[in-house]
Amino acid sequence: MSDLETFRAETRAWLEANCPEEMRLPLKSELDVCWGGKRWTFKSEAQKVWLERMAEKGWTVPEWAPEYGGAGLSKEEAKILKDEMKAIKARSPLNSFGIWMLGPALLKYGNEEQKREHLPKIARGEIRWAQGYSEPNAGSDLASLMTKCEDQGDHFLINGQKVWTSYADEADWIFVLVRTDFQAAKHDGISFVLVDMEQPGVTTKPIQLISGKSPFCETFFDDARCEKHNLVGEMNKGWSIAKYLLTHEREMIGGMGQGSGGMRPMGDIAAQQIGLNDRGELADPVLRTDVARAEIDGLAFLATMERVTDEAKSGQGVGANSSMLKYYGTELNKRRFELMMDSSGSDGLEWDKENDVARHWLRTKANSIEGGTSEVQLNIISKRILQLPTA
């Protein structure tokens, strides 16, 4: 057996022995997702055990080095782990902005002390992170942000307001883009700092969305304190980190368009809800066409994710294609939920059901706004891929 085959066999056996049965059932709602953090209450013993066992193996962040809480797996091994988890329908042991966003940024831009301090806690789900990017007057034009960060000699003092900070009311720490130079050009006066939210200078307020849910907050900084060793990268060079992170975020949000991940295919849902006619075709012929085209686009999108990733592996680089994936994936996800609403009929219009389709449908409308709007992605594609000129 080759090394990879051995690894696959061992991984399969370990997962079989260690993944609790309950953690192989489909998520009933987003409340079943494990986010971790100081204030986290596990929904079940199985959820706790699953996280602990995976963290112990370093498999919550399989590709990170062992000294940072990972398992040091190669890309090929990590893919095998992913495949094997998928094969037994294992839930993700930990969802985390620390893993998806801050981690990659620290690995690339952080110093050794920062990596050793923060990465293992992220890997074990001990600290929950929030992202402080957008401001009331800095949305698509993120680089015009104005949250002020002043040098107080032995520490920084932060004043300002962030918005759309995901789950900030449940987070322990926040990574924040701040302005450290008001004289410089707007991209050149931004720094990237890590702030402990457990202090009186940081307060949060949830924002209620059209979906009726509040996954986002406003976060206020009033003379908030930040230790100097929590500056990541160089002073005033935070914009490069921000751009790097946005790429990760795009890939993550774009990935939602793939429609696998435990989601039943749209056609099966529609067939169940609307029924088939005597020719075995969906009883609503116009919807049938729309569903089929959306499913075909879903297949093409999945194949594109696969192709773009495989190309990156052979050294061709995903690069600005993350914008294409983000654009298409989110627009596709919105289309899918429009069809879901169509096929749900009046049942889907009920508001007070737990986890109803209407709330999901409304939530998807943010997909093409968060992480850079569709229009911003199209700008990036035209500039960086098609190399169309700027005026």
Partner 1 sequence: MELVLTEEAGMLKDAAKGFLSDSAPVSQLRKLRDEKSADGFDRKTWAAMAEMGWTGVLVPEEHGGVAMGHVAAGVVAEEMGRTLTASPFLSTAIMGANALSRFGSDAQKGEWLPKIAAGEAIFAVGTDEGRKHNPVSVTTKAERSGNGFKLNGEKSFVAEGHVADMILVSARTAGSESEEEGVTLFLVPREAAGVTVERQFMVDSRNSARVKLDNVELNADAVLGEVDGGYKSLEAVLDSGRAGLSAEMSGSAQECLERTVDYLKERKQFGEIIGTYQGLQHRAAHLYSEIELGKSIVLKTLQTLDMAPDHAAMMVSAAKSKMGQVAQLAAQESIQMHGGIGMTDEYDIGFFIKRVRVAEALFGDSNYHTDKFARLRKY
Asked if 217 interacts with partner 1 (CB under 8 A), we say no
350 is catalytic: no
Position among 268, 317, 345, 350 found at the interface with partner 1 (CB under 8 A): 268
Looking at the Cβ atoms of 51 and 332, the one nearer to partner 1 is: 332
The identity of residue 137, as a single letter, is N
Asked if 286 interacts with partner 1 (CB under 8 A), we say no
Q: Residue written as tokens 């696959």?
A: 8
As to burial, measured by CB atoms within 10 angstroms (0-12 exposed, 13-18 middle, 19+ buried), residue 63 is: middle
CB 339 within 8 A of CB 294: yes
> What end-to-end distance do the CA atoms of the chain give, in Å?
58
Asked if 88 interacts with partner 1 (CB under 8 A), we say no
Dihedral over alpha carbons 17, 18, 23, 24 (to 10 degrees): -30
Position among 1, 17, 31, 386 found at the interface with partner 1 (CB under 8 A): 386
Position among 7, 129, 133, 327 found at the interface with partner 1 (CB under 8 A): 327
Q: Residue written as tokens 């699953």?
A: 50
The DSSP secondary-structure symbol of 202 reads E
Q: b/e string for 330-348 if b means 16 or more Cβ within 10 A?
A: bbbbbbbbebbbbbbeeeb
Which range in 1-9, 66-74, 196-204, 321-329 contacts partner 1 by CB under 8 A? 321-329
Asked if 263 interacts with partner 1 (CB under 8 A), we say no
Which range in 10-18, 37-45, 50-58, 308-316 contacts partner 1 by CB under 8 A? 308-316
Which range in 29-37, 87-95, 226-234, 265-273 contacts partner 1 by CB under 8 A? 265-273
- Cα–Cα dist 93/78, whole Å: 15
Where do contacts with partner 1 occur on this chain (CB under 8 A)? Answer: 265, 267-268, 270-271, 276, 280-282, 288-289, 291-293, 295-297, 299-301, 303-304, 306-308, 310-311, 313-314, 321, 324, 327-328, 375, 377-379, 381-383, 385-391
Q: Which residues are catalytic?
A: 249
